[in-house]
Chain A
């Protein structure tokens, strides 16, 4: 069971904090570091600007429910701006979450391979 949460960060860091680090990383639940590519961080900084950099928490968690074709991201500080820019369209927002479809998830992961992470939605049963 622990392997599912192993890849999730113990604590997320703001983009500003990560940009100031020499080796930008967060510590995962299993104690291993998850590093970010500086190129991706700089790309995100370009999108959100200096104000958004303090609000955007990384890694962005993409919550997946394998039984459904939808994935979602919790709406935080600047996530909507990032998703909008990468997808080139306004995504659906429902109940405080950005709703993504599988091809959109793939596009997002391709652009931000280290700045995003998957998390598994709890099953109803």
Chain B
């Protein structure tokens, strides 16, 4: 094992007391950061699991939607379908806010009015078939899942970043700061013991000299 680097302090009792206080604080902080890391990891795993589930749901929904679109295309023909779709275009209103997860500010996306009734979509109902309604409904549902997935993905990124940061802090405390303080305390204690021994020898020597006179 390599020799532990020491904190440069003057070898005085007050410094020893200071170091002991610093050590107890470092240990407490280490415990708290580790607890936070545990909770963040728990949350990360939950979000990751949800992310996978949602992705699978999206893939299924998109497959269904494209199947329905294929049927609508077969029924109406591509050109007619393109013409009908032109009038259904619109801007989506997605509001982005934040939520706080153990000190990590994560996005919270809320889409408003993605799902519409058949009459609100803009194409002529009497001129189109139920195949088109079904395809539009499925695509709207897919879009809702996409927004939710986007939120989860970003949350996952932010949590991952924070976990990395918390891990670095924990490791720095565990492997650098705490051992360094402990080594410094040990060094100071040894120094004081050495001084005590020197003092004892000096007194003995003095006693012998005095007794000889």
Cα–Cα, bound, A93→B45 (Å): 27
CB B203 to nearest CB in A, in angstroms, measures 42
- B31 surroundings in chain A (CB, below 8 A): 123, 125
- The reply on A110 being an interface residue by CB < 8 A is yes
- A37 surroundings in chain B (CB, below 8 A): 108, 110
- B110 surroundings in chain A (CB, below 8 A): 37-39
Stretch in A1-9, A12-20, A84-92 with 4+ CB within 8 Å of B = A1-9
- A125 surroundings in chain B (CB, below 8 A): 31
B98 partner, pick from A35, A64, A110, A113, beta carbons under 8 A: A35
- The reply on B102 being an interface residue by CB < 8 A is yes
CB B48 to nearest CB in A, in angstroms, measures 12
Stretch in B32-40, B182-190, B205-213 with 4+ CB within 8 Å of A = B32-40
- A77 surroundings in chain B (CB, below 8 A): none
Interface membership of chain A positions 84-105, coded 1 if the CB is closer than 8 angstroms to chain B and 0 otherwise: 0000000000000000001000
Q: Which residue of A lies closest to B32 (CB)?
A: A4
Interface of A is mostly: mixed
Cα–Cα, bound, A23→B50 (Å): 25
A118 partner, pick from B29, B39, B97, B108, beta carbons under 8 A: B39
CB B144 to nearest CB in A, in angstroms, measures 11
Cα–Cα, bound, A120→B31 (Å): 12
- The reply on B141 being an interface residue by CB < 8 A is no
The answer to whether B29 and A110 have CB atoms under 8 Å apart is no
- The reply on B3 being an interface residue by CB < 8 A is no
The answer to whether B108 and A110 have CB atoms under 8 Å apart is no
CB B105 to nearest CB in A, in angstroms, measures 6
Cα–Cα, bound, A34→B50 (Å): 21
- The reply on B2 being an interface residue by CB < 8 A is no
The answer to whether B102 and A1 have CB atoms under 8 Å apart is no
- A39 surroundings in chain B (CB, below 8 A): 110
Q: What are 19 A-B interface contacts by the 8 Å CB criterion?
A: A1-B29, A3-B36, A4-B32, A7-B101, A7-B102, A7-B103, A28-B100, A32-B105, A34-B99, A34-B100, A35-B99, A38-B110, A66-B39, A102-B42, A113-B99, A114-B108, A117-B100, A118-B101, A123-B32
* Interface residue ranges, A against B (CB under 8 Å): 1, 3-4, 6-7, 23, 25, 28, 30, 32-35, 37-39, 64, 66, 102, 106, 109-110, 113-114, 117-118, 120, 123, 125
